[in-house]
Amino acid sequence: MKNTKIRAVRITPIAFRDGPLLNASGIHEPWALRSIVEVETSDGRTGISETYGDEPMVKVLQQAASLLEGLSPFELNVMEARVRATIRPGKAGDGSVQFELAPGSHTAKNADKVISAMEVAMLDLQGQMLGLPICDLLGGAVRSEVPYSAYLFYKYAEHADKPYPPDAWGEAVTPAQVVQQARTMVEQYGFRSIKLKGGVFPPEQEIAAMKALRAAFPDLPLRLDPNANWSLATSIAAAKELDDLLEYYEDPTPGQDGMAELAKHCRMPLATNMVVTTMEEFRRNASTHAVKILLSDHHYWGGLRATAALARMCSVFDMGMSMHSNSHLGISLMAMTHAAAAIPNLTYACDTHYPWQEEEVIRGGRIQFHGGSVKVPGEPGLGVQIDPVQLARLHQQYLDCGVRNRNDLAQMRKYDPGFAGVSPRY
């Protein structure tokens, strides 16, 4: 074991089908991008991870690949130091699209994002070498299954470009359609809490949807995420109607200052994956304590160990913890599940886009949910392996699809050429 060294790191960008899901910035493109990381050792093992696939990210991952060569899979701290010393934030004009609502697109987070991708693959190797699931390398599971929430989206029935047949979900614009989407998702996955991605339609329409969800699911916790697309005044006005409806109020309005002011006007706790996405922002929020629930995401917080440390910080600063997601496949879902299993104070059901994906890159196809939860795997490492045929196919889709950076705004203008994309819109 002492002599096992990393001999190569392979980065493979992939693209998979993604539905016409609406959000504050616009609409999802037909293809979502991810990178698949494979870390190979001298004794023939391969550790894997999944992360962002936009072009600037692929570039820094490739730049970091050689930094791991010769390291033991146990040298996580050395890997982290090397990446921090080498991988720099992106620069203006480097082609990156810095997405306000998707912190994973921020190139200022390049080092943390790369560290996370490499760490997960190295932990997968450790687990394989030791015969232990990753959660055992994080202090052991405190729960045998990890609950996820039903992540509802406003959506159109079909992509403007019609690159492939429409999905089975259909249109969801009205409150009744949102409730129908929730019913389908809860039936298929067993979810026990519900989140709606808002910031799309006028607040009255979204509040009506939340009320319809409450009527249809009287016992399930509800969350609404307008993605900072509501002004402070709108957010305060809406709070009066949402205070008794929501488990938490996620990023209705932009900025820590706005959230801090809003906090004075509502009883429900505020949650975020937009105004606390770095340690500096954590530090600032610690002094105002405006946001009470942090949506963690190991992909940009520096990995699974850093997320566990972040959880301890949340505990110190009296913050609750939930988990954020972007469009992802099963490798990320497994990493999220191991992290959540080993974090005692991650007590809210985690977000996941997983039901919106139909394709998979792992062997054995899509991961099963039971009662809204994913069972914590007991197999060594992550507990999932790459299906090389699917990886090749999804990489070919990447090569063919032409998308290189997520751009929900440009995509939205295909439906509505006058779409301004100014935020906050309401």
Q: Give least dist CB 291 to its own copies, A.
A: 16
Q: Is 197 a catalytic site residue? A: yes
- Does the protein bind its own copies through residue 81 (CB under 8 A)? yes
Q: What is the 3-state secondary structure (H, E, C) of the chain?
A: CCCCCEEEEEEEEEEEECCCEEECCEECCCEEEEEEEEEEECCCCEEEEEEECCHHHHHHHHHHHHHHCCCCCCCHHHHHHHHHHHCCCCCCCCCCCCCCCCHHHCHHHHHHHHHHHHHHHHHHHHHHHHCCEHHHHCCCCCCCEEEECEEEECECCCCCCCCCCCCCCCCECCHHHHHHHHHHHHHHHCCCCEEEECCCCCHHHHHHHHHHHHHHCCCCCEEEECCCCCCHHHHHHHHHHHCCCCCEEECCCCCHHHHHHHHCCCCCCEEECCCCCCHHHHHHHHHHCCCCEEEECHHHHCCHHHHHHHHHHHHHCCCEEEECCCCCCHHHHHHHHHHHHCCCCCCCCECCCHHHCCCCCECCCCCCCECCEEECCCCCECCCCECHHHHHHHHHHHHHHCCCCCCHHHHHHHHCCCCCCCCCCC
Q: Give least dist CB 180 to its own copies, A.
A: 40
State which of residues 287, 363, 365, 371 lies at the interface with its own copies (CB under 8 A).
287
- Does the protein bind its own copies through residue 131 (CB under 8 A)? yes
State which of residues 208, 237, 279, 410 lies at the interface with its own copies (CB under 8 A).
279
- Which stretches of 249-366 are DSSP H helices? 256-263, 279-288, 298-301, 304-316, 330-341
Residue 187 or 280 with smaller CB distance to its own copies: 280
- Does the protein bind its own copies through residue 308 (CB under 8 A)? yes
Residue 15 or 260 with smaller CB distance to its own copies: 260
C-alpha 152 chain-centroid distance: 14
- Does the protein bind its own copies through residue 78 (CB under 8 A)? yes
- Does the protein bind its own copies through residue 344 (CB under 8 A)? yes
Residue 137 or 350 with smaller CB distance to its own copies: 137
- Does the protein bind its own copies through residue 317 (CB under 8 A)? yes
State which of residues 45, 63, 100, 142 lies at the interface with its own copies (CB under 8 A).
142
- Does the protein bind its own copies through residue 76 (CB under 8 A)? yes
State which of residues 12, 72, 229, 272 lies at the interface with its own copies (CB under 8 A).
72
- Does the protein bind its own copies through residue 141 (CB under 8 A)? yes
Q: Give least dist CB 276 to its own copies, A.
A: 12
Q: Give least dist CB 383 to its own copies, A.
A: 14
Q: Is 5 a catalytic site residue? A: no
State which of residues 18, 50, 54, 80 lies at the interface with its own copies (CB under 8 A).
80
Catalytic residue among 195, 324, 328, 338: 324
- Does the protein bind its own copies through residue 75 (CB under 8 A)? yes
Question: Site residues for its own copies, window 156-215 (CB under 8 A)?
Answer: none
* Options 135-143, 211-219, 356-364, 398-406: segment touching its own copies (CB under 8 A): 135-143
Residues catalogued as catalytic: 197, 324
Q: Which residues bind its own copies (CB under 8 A)?
A: 1-2, 72, 74-78, 80-81, 130-132, 136-142, 279-280, 282-283, 286-287, 305-306, 308-309, 312-313, 315-317, 342, 344, 378
